[in-house]
Amino acid sequence: MRLTGKKIIALVDEDFEDLELWYPIYRAREEGAIVHLVGSERGKTYIGKYGVPAISDYAYEEVESADYDAILVPGGWAPDKLRRYDKVITLVQEMNEAQKPIGQICHAGWVLISAKILNGVTVTSTPGIRDDMENAGAIWKDESVVVDGHIISAQRPPDLPPYGKAFCDAVAGK
């Protein structure tokens, strides 16, 4: 249980990609981490693209990056909504400044783009937002998972096993 005592924020909003939210959460919880789902409202039920619900533990405004060891940004259409919240951008920027692990998969790169933290960072994402990532200054790789320091990125749901491991490795400090 190498993540015992570690606390992770998992951002959530409507139309998250079901597997891209839940797989890394369960993976981190299996290793002992405490993972809080954080949305625009505390206790709200958000519905994924395929109908899987997720109930937020906290609202964005109720959490502080200093209280957490890492953050997960899911894919799906949720990132387009997430990046519109100032507090989400602040959380990601603060995590980046503190060099805490930031996990992003598929379209989640949109949130990191809006946080303006990708200049010179090597990442991957769904190929559909490659241009967006590169225009934000990222070095985009066509690989299933890319780790550049504290930023862990993956392309799609089939990449979840190596992404989950790479994220947990980063949280564990390996």
**Cα distance between residue 1 and residue 16, in whole Å:** 28
Query: In whole angstroms, what is the distance from residue 23 CA to residue 45 CA?
Result: 18
Q: Write down the pTM of the prediction.
A: 0.97
CA distance 52 to 68: 26
pLDDT (tens place) for every residue of the chain, 174 residues total: 999 999 999 999 999 999 999 999 999 999 999 999 999 999 999 999 999 999 999 999 999 999 999 999 999 999 999 999 999 999 999 999 999 999 999 999 999 999 999 999 999 999 999 999 999 999 999 999 999 999 999 999 999 999 999 999 999 997
Number of helices and strands (H, E) in the chain? 6, 11
d(CA 116, CA 62): 23
**pLDDT given at position 9:** 98
Return the H-helix or E-strand segment holding 165.
Answer: helix 160-172
Q: In sequence order, what DSSP letters do the residues of 23-88 get, joined into one string?
A: HHHHHHHHTT-EEEEEESSTTPEEE-TTS-EEE-SEEGGG--GGG-SEEEE--BTHHHHHTT-HHH
Q: Look at residue 133 in the predicted model and tell me its pLDDT.
A: 98
pLDDT score of 154: 98
**Distance from C-alpha of 96 to C-alpha of 50, rounded to nearest angstrom:** 31
Q: Which single residue is written with the structure tokens 């090597």?
A: 122
Q: Please report the pLDDT score of residue 152 as a whole number.
A: 98
Active site annotation includes 36 = no
Q: What pLDDT score was predicted for residue 174? A: 75
Q: How many residues does the chain have?
A: 174
Q: Which of 107, 133, 153, 163 is catalytic?
A: 107
List beta partners, residue 70.
8
What is residue 81's predicted lDDT score, i.e. its pLDDT? 97
